[in-house]
Structure 1
């Protein structure tokens, strides 16, 4: 059990009450929990999975000390038929599963792990080579961590993006977003869209709708925590056409083929 708060006396009271009811040991301030390392200073605290990455690299047994600058080459299009099937898929599944857990503190590999996860049922030698590339990237960036300053504004700010028809197998697009609470990165996601988008604008609007659903939930959550959420949450996108359609009802004729996402986004705006 982890007890947090800003009232040391009340925390001590809760601990004493729990000790009266249960057999428990006080391990002191949080330092390590489920592979996540926590370090605190007067400026804030940071979380990382450095030891977890070291153990993962040891299990992977790469056989070299090479590092790479990026987790994956730019504009790589992986297909199920690329390369030869792996004789033993257990290793690939184990490593990808470990990378999925690593994205808790490493949003920089979220997209690449999402791509590799699509091939766990039948991975090939090509997929495995790209998996090793991600591991070599982690070796060179093992000390990276998420920092949460002790003082920050409590305004949500959101970023949305999408790749259009980027999956060569089914031509579906990918949505991606990240959400900041002041200067804190609190949510991020990469997800393949459930339908084929017929234009880049449609893909961007679907990404916006996914992000707005997340922000709506976060505002409810913050309200439950007693955090004021009266200010608007800016949503930033690099698609001027998608922004225009989301804001202007006159564009209705241009969005009939898109379905409900444009209207959902417009209603929230």
Structure 2
């Protein structure tokens, strides 16, 4: 996707026949189950399937063009990795100009192997970036809890809390002690949910700097160099 381009529903005239647009988006949604590198682009384009315009279609064609140029790229799963979970979450606050809802994203690793990811618009408007980050933390905590149950069913013992990396110190502070933040009662449920999971040894929120926040790939467009950097960290590689 192009940098600093924010698509909206009222950028031009509607396509006379949106069938092809919808067909491509539907195919990309299906492909996104195994291609984490198109998650953000597909999320953005899928918001316009009801009434796409020519500009949306022009930007949509960038995705299959990118896939054609990276057809051999795939997720690498090393056989020697340990069976410990770690998760990253991030948010772009009020990124949707039409309703000011924030975009949440997360990715979960089993050791060095990427096994789960998601990009999703939040259902309500967050009043601050910390609120939005806290809701993203609650979203990934739910995913981590389910994955830990799944590993237990497979006979894999998961004793240590799962590291949950976020770049928001405010969200981490609210999760660690939600009682202190009386002005954030509107996000109290998420804060107390994360706190309960922390006390049960499910997750352990930790700070990660913006430079190595891997979930940036799922929340915003990147330069070519940063895109390649994130793919290398996510082990989305071309085979030798």
Place the TM-score, normalised by the shorter chain, in its bin. 0.7 to 0.9
- 1:176 aligned residue: 105
Which whole-Å deviations, capped at 9, do the CAs of 1:143-199 have from their partners, x for residues lacking one?
110111111110000000011000111110111000000111110000110110010
Structure 1 residue 218 corresponds to structure 2 residue 218 = no
RMSD across aligned positions (CA): 1.2
- 1:28 aligned residue: none
Distance in structure 2 (CA, Å) of the matches to 1:231 and 1:119: 42
Distance in structure 2 (CA, Å) of the matches to 1:258 and 1:76: 30
- 1:81 aligned residue: 10
Q: 2:20 aligns with which of 85, 91, 108?
A: 91
Give the TM-score, by structure 1 length: 0.71
Structure 1 residue 262 corresponds to structure 2 residue 191 = yes
Distance in structure 1 (CA, Å) of the matches to 2:126 and 2:75: 34
Give the TM-score, by structure 2 length: 0.80
Distance in structure 2 (CA, Å) of the matches to 1:260 and 1:250: 11
1:168 counterpart SS class: coil
Matches within 5 A, 1:11-90: 72-90=1-19
Distance in structure 2 (CA, Å) of the matches to 1:75 and 1:265: 33
Most deviating of 92-101 and 135-144: 135-144
1:127 counterpart SS class: helix
After the TM superposition, list the runs of 4 or more consecutive aligned residues in structure 1 that deviate by more than 2 angstroms. Answer: 248-252
1:167 counterpart SS class: coil
CA-CA distance at 1:128 after TM superposition: 0.4
2:81 counterpart SS class: coil
Which whole-Å deviations, capped at 9, do the CAs of 1:30-66 have from their partners, x for residues lacking one?
xxxxxxxxxxxxxxxxxxxxxxxxxxxxxxxxxxxxx
Q: What residue ranges of structure 2 are gaps of 5+ in the alignment?
A: 199-240
Structure 1 residue 125 corresponds to structure 2 residue 47 = no
Q: What residue ranges of structure 1 are gaps of 5+ in the alignment?
A: 1-71
Number of aligned residue pairs: give it.
Answer: 198
Structure of greater relative contact order (alpha carbons < 8 Å, 6+ residues apart): 2
CA-CA distance at 1:139 after TM superposition: 2.2
Distance in structure 2 (CA, Å) of the matches to 1:74 and 1:254: 35
Structure 1 residue 232 corresponds to structure 2 residue 161 = yes
Q: 1:136 aligns with which of 65, 89, 95?
A: 65
Which whole-Å deviations, capped at 9, do the CAs of 1:219-257 have from their partners, x for residues lacking one?
001101101111110000011111111112453313213
